[in-house]
Amino acid sequence: MQIQLNGEPREIDDGLNLSKLVAFLKLKPEQIAIELNRQVVRRVDWETTPVNDGDQLEIVHFVGGGTAPDYAEYAD
């Protein structure tokens, strides 16, 4: 079946739900968020949310970053 994944056409197996799609794509569930047809889907709903032919999915990876605070600045 054909879906749009992050704006690109992608062929995937039939019968996948969002949890199985994450496994199929070898992604770490705790590091992503999924938008299905412009609606964010809560992680607790992934198991019961089917992926259908023609669906548009956006998968966003959480990225850590920034700089660590300078704790010496707070020392007396």
Within-domain flag for 73? no
Within-domain flag for 75? no
The count of domains in the chain is: 1
* pLDDT tens, N- to C-terminus, the chain (76 residues): 999 999 999 999 999 999 999 999 999 999 999 999 999 999 999 999 999 999 999 999 987 666 655 555 545 4
Within-domain flag for 50? yes
For residues 29 and 53, give the distance between their C-alpha atoms in angstroms, rounded to a whole number: 22
User: Whole-prediction pTM value?
Assistant: 0.80
Q: Range of 18's domain?
A: 2-64
